[in-house]
Structure 1
Amino acid sequence: MQTLGEAARAVLLTADPHDKRRAARGLARAWRRGQLEHRCDTPMPDQPAWPAEPELLAPNRMPKRGKGGSERGRIALLHALAHIEFVAIDLAVDLVGRFGGEFPRAFVDDWIGVAADEAMHFALLDRRLRQLGSHYGALPAHAELWEAAEATADDALARLAIVPMVLEARGLDVTPATVERFQAAGDEASAKILSRIYKDEIRHVSVGTLWFRQKCDEMGFNAVETWHALVKSRFRGSLKPPFNDSARHDAGLTQEFYAVIAS
């Protein structure tokens, strides 16, 4: 029987975006059907396989997108979001393959589900780009998303602290305003996609926060103090308001975590 680690590594080493999307959903099906052994002793790659396009640039070299009012601006914003969702597939799969053996099956259930969600989100955004005459890879994307995985490759707690509880939580802060911009431009199709993604991301942050708290309890750590220490030592950016306190609270990420160390 193939192991969970072997299957996760295969997804990470799939470069074509649509093949990766299908592979992630296939991983989820195989796990649900009991076709994978819960063993994660296969090394995960330092860097996933990605396609030649989009061209990856440093954030300060990225073209300005504007506010999304024009069709060109909306395409650029949708492309940026598609890239985030594409990399998020690898972030979720790497979390499972790298750390899944340290946790019970329920952890794998949750994060395999997140990976499948991210694959679906990517498919929705790429399809919308094609409806607008573009596609994923047509524009450059920034190259820093995987840095969070590299900075936390040695520590499951650090990975949970940074990826769902910082990066995905930031999506909760900015997505409602993005939805409103698409609605103001009359692009209800894109707004509906982002609204669907937003609801799923609340659950993803919730899953991250839940397992972070559980791991801290297991190790006898104070969850809030541990999160503060990990964010300060493992996250290169800063936590900037405004925060979507309501959505964060729904996800279990209460103000005691982020309010104290926000810049």
Structure 2
Amino acid sequence: MTSLSEAAISVLATNDATQKCRLTRALAADWHQGRITAIGDCPPPPRPARPARPALLPPREMPKRAYGGDKGRIGLLHALAHIELNAIDLAWDIVARFPNDAMPKAFYDDWVQVALDEAVHFEMLVDLLARLGAAYGDLPAHDGLWQAAEKTADDLAARLVVVPMTLEARGLDTTPATMAKLAANGDTLTPPALELIYRDEITHVAAGVRWFTHLAEARGQDAKALYQSLLTARFPGGLKSPFNHDARARAGFARDWYEPMATR
């Protein structure tokens, strides 16, 4: 690869999930170890390549998830694996999609690391599915995450608001309760995996906040006002409370930014 954007596109063009993870690991190493140095300017595809399975349904058509027992665990793990696979592509997409914003190298360092983290998460969840006799693709999944990417493909600031600062931040709010419920039901395997994802999500949200603030300042705009304006325009459903204020604070996400945006 001659540039990071070409590397990103090679991942986005890979439809096999296992190969997508392997390629992410190899290209992240190439970037971090200096074998790739140029950012490049190669526009990414509108959508990443996807495996034939799972079937992608509109969110409203998704079957109700089972709770309890192995069936419930499989449903949860499959949904999380689908999120992580999308997250790999979202991280590579942000690397290649916004060259006109002229972000510093540290921005690309962060998002290549996010892509690598998400690949590790996906592989870990697939391993847990296999222990239960299941595989990624066995259940349908929805396309909501990539729809959010499509709606923010025109503006890096909007992408940062919707993806890391809203969708990933929501994971900070909900994951501790999920871990506690699984542990109470005697699950000793899933909570440690969710704990790793949770810790990494804090760093991902922090990257979103950091680079959004950088971008707002570069544009000469008040960061909090811009965040609230973009959230209203690009995520009109608003935010769900309660919030995990402690985890959000660890990510540098100021309470007076997001709390007024709660709908309930």
Q: TM-score range by the shorter chain?
A: over 0.9
Could you tell me which runs of 5 or more consecutive residues in structure 2 were left unpaired when the two chains were aligned. none
Does the 8 Å CA contact 2:228/2:257 hold for their aligned counterparts?
A: yes
Separation in 2 of the partners of 1:237 and 1:138?
30
Does the 8 Å CA contact 1:209/1:253 hold for their aligned counterparts?
A: yes
Could you tell me which runs of 5 or more consecutive residues in structure 1 were left unpaired when the two chains were aligned. none
RMSD: 1.2
Q: Which residue in 2 is equivalent to 1:26? A: 26
Shift of residue 249, structure 1, vs aligned partner:
0.9
Does the 8 Å CA contact 1:86/1:119 hold for their aligned counterparts?
A: yes
Kindly, what percent of the aligned residue pairs are identical? 51
| Count of matched residue pairs | 262
Q: Which residue in 1 is equivalent to 2:85? A: 86
- Large movers: runs of 4+ above 6 Å: none
Q: Which residue in 1 is equivalent to 2:14? A: 14
| Alignment CA distance shift 1:100-1:203 (3 Å) | farther
SS class of match (1:242): coil
After TM superposition, the structure 1 = structure 2 runs for residues 56-135 of structure 1, keeping only pairs within 5 Å, are 56-67=56-67, 69-99=68-98, 102-135=102-135
| Alignment CA distance shift 1:139-1:4 (3 Å) | same
Of 45-54 and 55-64, more deviation after overlay is shown by 55-64
Of 121-130 and 184-193, more deviation after overlay is shown by 184-193
SS class of match (2:41): coil
The one-letter code sitting in structure 2 at the alignment partner of 1:26 is A
**TM-score when normalising by structure 2:** 0.96
SS class of match (1:88): helix
SS class of match (1:122): helix
Shift of residue 32, structure 1, vs aligned partner:
1.2
Shift of residue 181, structure 1, vs aligned partner:
1.6
After TM superposition, the structure 1 = structure 2 runs for residues 26-45 of structure 1, keeping only pairs within 5 Å, are 26-45=26-45
Shift of residue 236, structure 1, vs aligned partner:
4.6
Structure 1 residues 174-196: Cα deviation after superposition (integer angstroms, max 9, x where no partner): 10111112111211111100011
Does the 8 Å CA contact 1:38/1:105 hold for their aligned counterparts?
A: no
Structure 1 residues 184-209: Cα deviation after superposition (integer angstroms, max 9, x where no partner): 12111111000111000011001110
